[in-house]
Amino acid sequence: EAQVTQNPRYLITVTGKKLTVTCSQNMNHEYMSWYRQDPGLGLRQIYYSMNVEVTDKGDVPEGYKVSRKEKRNFPLILESPSPNQTSLYFCASNPLGAGANVLTFGAGSRLTVL
Amino acid sequence: AQSVTQPDIHITVSEGASLELRCNYSYGATPYLFWYVQSPGQGLQLLLKYFSGDTLVQGIKGFEAEFKRSQSSFNLRKPSVHWSDAAEYFCAVGFLYGGATNKLIFGTGTLLAVQP
């Protein structure tokens, strides 16, 4: 089944403890991106990647890092999480060519930073 | 700056009634427009999309949307709502870069409640 898989789905952590949210897609998509969803704000893009080793900031990149060492994986790294990063996170992917304009989203990762 | 506005934060309709969710966008060129639905505790599911051509687009679950350039709107409609339609609905504008969508700008969402 074509899908975007995120892990963990739920995580409670404490301020300053580094964490990584993994994202993997099995569709051989070139583009991948991360969004965070907050009440009253909708979804906002954190980072995106156009291909392996090509990443760029989205609208709210502060406090986050990403890497794209393999085409299928696009982990989101919080080096020193803070409570304002408590949010619901979505990873998405889309291809070049046919279907290039439609994103496939993962199921989401709910992160709580105490 | 590009933006998407969903003026209705919360809407309640009776089952079987018609539905229209409003979406207005601000974008300099012809936009790529989307409606997504998010059921409680779930991810985002694409309902429909508009890229070009016929301004009335059909989607899944009996939804349709109409692109009106003069009003910068892309309102979502359904003639008869079912209880299972209760969810949060997001309108989004897509941006192209390097031959594909590299970013979606989302509205703040409309939460739909359905009364029996």
Name the nearest CA neighbour of B109 among B84, B88, B87.
B88
B66 contacts B42 by C-beta, under 8 angstroms: no
Percent of chain B at pLDDT exceeding 90: 74
Please measure the distance between the N-terminal and C-terminal CA atoms of chain B and give it in whole angstroms: 41
B46 φ/ψ sector (left φ>0, alpha ψ -120 to 50, else beta):
beta
Choosing among A32, A34, A43, which should be mutated to test the B contact, i.e. which has the most B CBs within 10 A?
Answer: A43
Q: A51-82 pLDDT, tens per residue?
A: 999 999 999 999 999 999 999 999 999 999 99
Stretch B69-90: mean pLDDT, rounded?
96
Lookup result for tokens 């949010």: A87
Q: Where are the beta strands (DSSP E) in A31-107?
A: 31-38, 42-51, 54-57, 65-66, 76-78, 87-94, 104-105
Taking CA–CA distances from A32, the nearest residue in chain B reads B102
Rounded CA-CA distance A51/B35 in Å is: 26
Q: Do the Cβ atoms of B97 and A45 come within 8 Å?
A: no
Q: A4-29 pLDDT, tens per residue?
A: 999 999 999 999 999 999 999 999 99
Do β-strands A65-66 and A87-94 pair in parallel, antiparallel, or remain unpaired? unpaired
Q: Do the Cβ atoms of A102 and B101 come within 8 Å?
A: yes
Rounded CA-CA distance B41/B44 in Å is: 10
Q: How confident is the model at residue B97 (pLDDT cuts 50, 70, 90)?
A: confident
CA–CA min distance B110, chain A (Å) = 10
* Pick from B42, B51, B101: CB nearest A103: B101
Q: Is A101 on the interface with B (CB under 8 A)?
A: yes
